[in-house]
Amino acid sequence: MVDKLRIAVVGCGAIAKVHLPAIRQGAPEIEIAAVVDVDGERAAAMAGDTGATAFTSFDDALASGTFEAVDLMLPHQLHEPLAVQAFEAGQHVLLEKPMAPTVDACERILAAWRKTDRVFMVAENAQYWPDVLAAGELIADGAIGEIVTGRASIFFPPLDDYYGDDTAWRFNRDATGGGVTIDTGSHWIRPIRMLMGEIDEVVAAIDHPVRQMEGESLARALLRFESGKIGQFDALMSYGPLAPELFFRITGTEGEITIDGGGKVMLYDRESPGGRAAAETGGYFDSYPGEFADFAAAVLHGTPLAAGPEVALGELRTALAMYRSAETRRWEKVWD
- The pLDDT value given to residue 167: 84
Q: What pLDDT, on a 0 to 100 scale, did the predictor assign at position 165?
A: 80
Distance CA(204)–CA(179), nearest Å, equals 14
Average pLDDT score, the chain: 96
Tens-place pLDDT, residues 156-208: 999 888 998 888 999 999 999 999 999 999 999 999 999 999 999 999 999 99
* Structure confidence by residue, pLDDT tens digits, 52-103: 999 999 999 999 999 999 999 999 999 999 999 999 999 999 999 999 999 9
Predicted confidence at residue 2, as pLDDT, reads 67
Query: 315-326 in b/e burial notation, b at 16+ Cβ within 10 A?
Result: bbbbbbbbbbbb
Helix-helix angle 313-328:186-196, to 10 degrees: 110
Is a pLDDT exceeding 60 seen at residue 1? no
Q: Are 177 and 219 in contact (CB under 8 A)?
A: no
Task: Determine the average pLDDT of the residues in 21-45.
Answer: 97
For 128-166, how does the pLDDT look when each residue is reduced to its tens digit (9 = 90+)?
A: 999 999 999 999 999 999 999 999 999 999 988 899 888
Stretch 8-20: mean pLDDT, rounded?
Answer: 96
Comparing CA positions, the residue from 250, 246, 251 lying closest to residue 264 is: 246
* Three-class DSSP labels, 216-281: CCEEEEEEEECCCCEEEEEEEECCCCCCCCCCEEEEECCEEEEECCCCEEEEECCCCCCCEEEEEC
Q: For residue 98, say if its preceding peptide bond is cis, omega within 30 degrees of 0.
A: yes
Tens digits of residue pLDDT in 105-136 = 999 999 999 999 999 999 999 999 999 999 99
Query: What confidence tens digit (pLDDT) does each residue in 271-283 have?
Result: 999 999 999 998 9
Q: Percent of the chain scored above 70 by pLDDT?
A: 99
Domains of the chain in sequence order: 5-125+288-304 (3.40.50.720), 127-287+316-333 (3.30.360.10)
